Amino acid sequence: MRRTVLVLTALEDVTADLVIEALNERGTTVVRVDPGDVGSDLVFGFRLGQDRGATWGGRLRTGGREVDVGAVTAVYCRRPTPYTARFQQLPRQSREFAVAEARHGLGGVLHGLRGALYVNHPASVTRADFKPAQLQRFAALGLRVPETLVTNDVAEARKFAAERGPVIYKPFRGLPEGEDGCAGAIWAQRIEADALDDSVSVTAHLFQVEIPKSGDVRVTVVGRRVFAQQITTPDGALDWRRGDWGRLVHIPVVVPDSVRTALHGYLTSFGLTFGCFDFALTGDGTAAEDWWAIECNPNGQWGWLPDAPAIADAFAEILGREDVEDRDDSG
């Protein structure tokens, strides 16, 4: 059966563009839809029951494309516009009602297409999106993780920093948009025990023992294919994300067999097909003991990496074929 891939994402998404281009090169039918366009720009009618059995069918139509959801064989869930943006002009009660109805109606069908492969399913992404669960899973799979404290107790935080320093603080999530609509960032940073005050009690904080790293590694896993790049900054920054990404130095690196096995086990345990893993390296990175697991973004960015074309091809291979024979590209 000819594959039909539904790509759920916003209009401007360079990462999705790479995958769509790779799918087009394979001759796979691709339909790009932003569920956040619900309204006159996105019209649908789905039916279930009687001769349709247990499978939703019906048309999903945008300004330029139309697809029968019953024919969709794979769904690439990237970064669609939140429904809240669509209904922000409505009064609060009406807005919250419209958002909930769109999420449970349109989203409920799009996230439950029977027999379709999801990369990744939103429910799996949500389940895998909590850093405490990630760290616990890493440790259970035999990966090394930094000693970690999650707390809102300033006394606990001071004790941890004094006894286990140097210690770093990092947020659990990115900084949300401000009133001006601009998003900011809080980078990983070193903290001293005497710098902590009662503001720690306001919310949860994550503190970790700093790893004396020789570098960082971003590992992108798509199915059985593994892509790894060591990342260094000209100034040796604690958090490589805070500087000029154009000055980052990328070097392909081989992932030790035991680490690679753990990464596949991690994805399987959360029901994921894809994930972006961050590691801190000690030593030269040749031994598994040199690899310290930091986090996994189950819907991470990879379009900026040097091996982005190969990663896009890995996505297209999984989304566009029935009989995928995954291979490992870690070296």
User: How far apart (Å, rounded) are the C-alpha atoms in residues 329 and 221?
Assistant: 10
126 belongs to a structural domain:
no
pLDDT of residue 328: 46
250 belongs to a structural domain:
yes
Domain CATH code at residue 204: 3.30.1490
Does residue 169 sit in the same domain as residue 204? yes
Does residue 165 sit in the same domain as residue 217? no
Output the DSSP codes for 50-86.
GGGTTS-EEEEE-SS-EEEGGG--EEEE--PPPHHHH
Does residue 189 sit in the same domain as residue 240? no
pLDDT digits (tens, 9 = 90+) for 169-186: 999 987 777 766 676 778
Output the DSSP codes for 190-245.
EE-GGG--GGGGGS-EEEEEPP--SEEEEEEEETTEEEEEEEE-TT--SSGGGS-G
15 belongs to a structural domain:
yes
**Residue 166 token pair:** 């140097």
Inter-residue long-range contacts of 61-66, CB under 8 Å, 24+ positions, other chains counted: 62/32, 62/33, 62/37, 65/31, 65/32, 65/33, 66/31
Contact 294, 1 (CB under 8 A): no
**Residue 64 token pair:** 């330029």
Instruction: Report the b/e string of 20-47 with b at 16+ CB within 10 A.
Output: bebbeeeebbbbbbbbbbbeeebebebe
pLDDT digits (tens, 9 = 90+) for 15-36: 999 999 999 999 999 999 999 9
pLDDT of residue 326: 41
Output the DSSP codes for 161-182.
HHHH-SEEEE-SSPPPB-TTS-
Number of structural domains in the chain: 3
Instruction: Report the b/e string of 88-119 with b at 16+ CB within 10 A.
Output: eeeeeeebeebbeebbeebbebbbebeebbbb
pLDDT of residue 1: 52
Q: Using N-to-C axis directions, what is the helix angle for 14-25 and 308-320, rounded to 10°?
A: 60
pLDDT exceeds cutoff 60 at 324: no
- Using only C-alpha atoms, what is the Rg of the chain? 22
156 belongs to a structural domain:
yes
Output the average pLDDT for the chain: 91
Domain CATH code at residue 288: 3.30.470.20
Does residue 259 sit in the same domain as residue 308? yes
Range of the domain at 26: 4-119
pLDDT digits (tens, 9 = 90+) for 200-219: 999 999 999 999 998 899 99
Does residue 8 sit in the same domain as residue 54? yes
Residues in the chain: 331
The pair phi, psi for residue 106, each rounded to 5°, is -60, -50
325 belongs to a structural domain:
no
Contact 288, 217 (CB under 8 A): no
Average pLDDT over every residue of 129-148: 97
Does residue 274 sit in the same domain as residue 216? yes
pLDDT of residue 181: 65
pLDDT digits (tens, 9 = 90+) for 230-275: 998 877 778 877 777 778 889 999 999 999 999 999 999 999 999 9
